[in-house]
Amino acid sequence: MKRILLVAALGAISLSACAESPAPASGAAPAVVAAPSGPSVTAEPGSAEARALEAIATLNPNIKVDHIGEAPMPGFRELIVGGQVVYVSDDGRYMFLAGAGGALYDAHAEKNLSEAALGRMRNELLATIPEGERIVFAPENPDHTVTVFTDVECGYCRKMHSEIEQYNAQGIAVEYLAFPRMGMGSEDFTKMISVWCADDRKAALTQAKTTGKVTPKDCKNTVAMQYSIGQRAGLTGTPMIIAEDGTQLGGYVPPAALREALDKLAANREPAEVGA
């Protein structure tokens, strides 16, 4: 259970073949799904192979490793797990998940180093969007704030917004940014411009998400800018939830689960980050 909660809170890079649920978070701990039962490879105790197997076991003790051998680069072992290639450093500390977007994971620190770098980049990009261009639904004195790239046509975006009061009740402020997934110039794009040009953006966004309709309106707006930043931030689907430290928390996450994830992120944040 602790491993499941860690993955839910700090992110998951799945090694399974498919995932039909909303996009998972992509923070610290890769989620390794156990392969079908059967004999797993073994290694001599104390060897680089043994340390590699121990590192994989920290993610999922029931995992079946189908192959282990020398990697094409020095200082690493090559493992095949569930049809995916994983490279583990000979000291068992670092894991490179070649089939998961190139994630580099520090097993000792339980930290996705790739996500940490991406998080810093996302925050730099988000800082270029003026505060006044965000559509904010917030409780009084929120404990956490998330940025959410949203789309008025997206089913999971609508589901998330239908629960906005529950997110606020969990102490979470939601700052919406526009990401019309059908692209610039589409009907979707035009609807989102109408929302951002409305006199009451919050009401217009709620109407668009609940009825699919919005009063047509045009003005000088930043929807195209927000869409471009979403692309540069690595957005592949909506909604995209980003924590205050830049960690991507995946697609739709239920209110209580999101609160738990944010609490765990805050608890695991480095002291220097907290004081920043």
Q: Which residues are catalytic?
A: 151, 154, 157, 181
Burial annotation 184-222 (CB, 10 A radius, 16+ → b, else e)? eeeebbbbbbbbbbbeebeebbbbbbeeeebeeeeeebb
Give the CA dihedral 34, 70, 85, 62, nearest 10 degrees.
10
CA atoms within 13 A on the CB side of 163: 16
Q: What are phi and psi of 89, to 5 degrees?
A: -65, 150
On whether the CB atoms of residues 241 and 148 are closer than 8 A, the answer is yes
CB atoms within 10 A of CB 165: 11
CA dist 168 to 118, 172, 176, 207, Å?
Answer: 27, 5, 14, 19
In sequence order, the β-bridge partners of residue 174 are: 137, 146
Adjacency order of strands within the sheet including 111-112? 65-70, 76-81, 84-89, 94-97, 103-106, 111-112
* Strand positions, DSSP E, 71-171: 76-81, 84-89, 94-97, 103-106, 111-112, 135-137, 144-150
* Strand positions, DSSP E, 101-237: 103-106, 111-112, 135-137, 144-150, 172-178
Kindly state the tokens that stand for 262.
């944010």
